[in-house]
């Protein structure tokens, strides 16, 4: 009998249906899903517009390389245009966040003709060779070294650390909010300093918006909170409305320096993915998703801070928009289990943080549900800790 290779620890839960911000298990229990497939379902599970577009495309063309034109791609470009990163009219579609990062790094190396990369401690950029090389966690990285290099890891949010960036650096890659690292927003002076130094040294600034992008933080792109424009934006997760797709956005001056064969992908830009991005873009605009994420994120963080912030085991409630972390003075593993027992799905970030990646459809009642479940999780963790 075939067995699935379990590289992710089982949550002991069989999900059979999901819609909007909710999921149901095989016993009919309803869950508030603040895990959302590592944030993929930001526009809600089975978003009606996304499902409609994918079904329609299934009846037309399912498999097609981007060497051929197709009407859905023209529609996608039209719908994406008002949402594209500033001054970046070119996009290339791939399948996953790690591939978007890989391509971004390749672009920087090709154009600068340099090898060295700069990333940050607690960063996460993916698990393929190039993206893994700029991922901080040694548990992910060291068993597979040597990877792509050389790479220098600097302190996140430390402006002085940036002074070590030299003329040999091809790119500095940064998450505007570190997700896996603990839901840590970048400081304004830090992002501005990266932009100034990379311009001065002739290096690329790559914004990894795989988790932050497409409205989640209260702006279409999280870098827009900081008043800078990077050279490359890598995106995935929310941009497909639940369908596996990623994107790399570049300005014209970069596009002109790329040649046929510089990158390739069998499935990237396939008609179903393009249809999903088209629909997702329409939803983001028609539902004012970034504005909703900003308003609801403020409400959610305020509620969490008021109800849990003074608790002795809570170090900090932080985040941007609907990308929220509750940093504990305890290991969050048991608290996340208790959340699940109370029908709220969440995930870990860093070593001590509970991460909520809420769909934008979340309501105040949902937030109260999550707050109450989190309180129970913290109290039970404290009880276990004090008795051990």
70 is in an annotated binding site: no
Instruction: Say how far apart CA 360 and CA 292 lie, in whole Å.
Output: 7
Q: What spatial distance separates the first Cα and last Cα of the chain, rounded to whole Å?
A: 41
Known binding residue 266? Answer is yes
Contacts of 253 (CB under 8 A, 6+ apart): none
In the prediction, which pLDDT does 356 show?
A: 98
Rounded Cα distance, 57 and 171, in Å: 38
Q: What are the residue boundaries of the structural domains of the chain, listed by start?
A: 15-46+288-387, 48-286
Instruction: Report the pLDDT value the prediction gives residue 386, as an integer from 0 to 100.
Output: 65
Residue 164 and residue 194 in contact, taking contact as beta carbons nearer than 8 Å: no
Q: Is 15-46+288-387 a CATH 3.90.1150.10 domain? A: yes
The answer to the question of whether 214 is labelled as a binding residue is no
Tens of pLDDT along the chain (388 residues) come to: 999 999 999 999 999 999 999 999 999 999 999 999 999 999 999 999 999 999 999 999 999 999 999 999 999 999 999 999 999 999 999 999 999 999 999 999 999 999 999 999 999 999 999 999 999 999 999 999 999 989 999 999 999 999 999 999 999 999 999 999 999 999 999 999 999 999 999 999 999 999 999 999 999 999 999 999 999 999 999 999 999 999 999 999 999 999 999 999 999 999 999 999 999 999 999 999 999 999 999 999 999 999 998 889 999 999 999 999 999 999 999 999 999 999 999 999 999 999 999 999 999 999 999 999 999 999 998 887 766 5
pLDDT at res. 149:
87
Residue 265 known to bind ligand: yes
Beta bridge partners of 185: 177
Instruction: Give exposure, 225-264, as e/b (b: 16+ Cβ within 10 Å).
Output: bbebbbbbbbbbbbbbbbbbbbbbbbbeebeeebeeeebe
211 is known to lie in a ligand binding site: yes
Return the residue matching tokens 């990623």.
246
Query: Any known ligand binding at 209?
Result: yes
Q: Has 210 been labeled as part of a binding site?
A: yes
Please give the pLDDT value at position 385: 72
Residues 232 and 90: their CA atoms lie apart, in Å, by: 10
Residue 295 assigned ligand-binding role = no
Report residue 62 CA to chain centroid gap. 27
**pLDDT value, residue 388:** 58
Residues whose CB falls within 8 Å of the CB of residue 149, separated by 6 or more in sequence, listed in order = 115, 116, 117, 133
Kindly indicate whether the domain formed by 48-286 is annotated with CATH number 2.40.50.100: no
């Amino acid at each position: 009998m075939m067995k699935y290779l379990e590289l992710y620890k089982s949550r002991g839960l069989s999900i059979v249906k999901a819609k909007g911000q909710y999921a149901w298990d095989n016993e009919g229990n309803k869950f508030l899903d603040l895990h959302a497939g590592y944030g993929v379902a930001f526009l809600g599970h089975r978003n009606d517009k996304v499902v409609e577009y994918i079904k329609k495309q299934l009846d037309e063309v399912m498999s097609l390389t981007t060497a051929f034109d197709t009407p859905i791609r023209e529609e996608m470009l039209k719908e994406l245009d008002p949402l594209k990163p500033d001054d970046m009219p070119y996009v290339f579609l791939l399948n996953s966040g790690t591939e978007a990062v890989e391509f971004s790094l390749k672009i920087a190396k090709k154009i600068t003709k340099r090898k060295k990369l700069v990333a940050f401690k607690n960063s996460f950029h993916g698990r393929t060779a190039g993206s893994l090389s700029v991922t901080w966690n040694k548990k992910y990285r060291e068993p597979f070294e040597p990877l792509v290099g050389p790479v220098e890891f600097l302190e996140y949010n430390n402006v002085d650390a940036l002074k070590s960036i030299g003329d040999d650096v091809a790119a500095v890659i940064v998450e505007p909010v570190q997700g896996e690292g603990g839901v840590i927003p970048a400081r304004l002076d830090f992002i501005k300093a990266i932009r100034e130094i990379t311009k001065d040294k002739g290096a690329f600034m790559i914004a990894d918006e795989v988790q932050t992008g497409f409205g989640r933080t209260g702006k279409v792109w999280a870098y827009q909170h900081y008043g800078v424009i990077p050279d490359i934006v890598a995106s995935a997760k929310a941009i497909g409305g639940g369908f596996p797709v990623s994107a790399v956005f570049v300005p014209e001056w970069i596009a002109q320096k790329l040649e046929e064969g510089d990158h390739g992908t069998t499935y990237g830009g396939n008609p179903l993915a393009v249809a999903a991005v088209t629909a997702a873009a329409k939803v983001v605009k028609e539902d004012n998703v970034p504005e909703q994420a900003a308003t609801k994120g403020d409400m959610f963080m305020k509620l969490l801070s008021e109800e849990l912030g003074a608790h002795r085991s809570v170090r900090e409630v932080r985040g941007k928009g609907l990308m929220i972390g509750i940093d504990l003075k305890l290991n969050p593993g048991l608290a996340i289990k208790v959340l699940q027992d109370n029908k709220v799905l969440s995930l870990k970030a860093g070593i001590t943080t509970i991460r909520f990646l809420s769909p934008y459809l979340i309501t105040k009642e949902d937030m109260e549900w999550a707050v109450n479940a989190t309180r129970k999780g913290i109290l039970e963790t404290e009880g276990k800790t004090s008795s051990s």
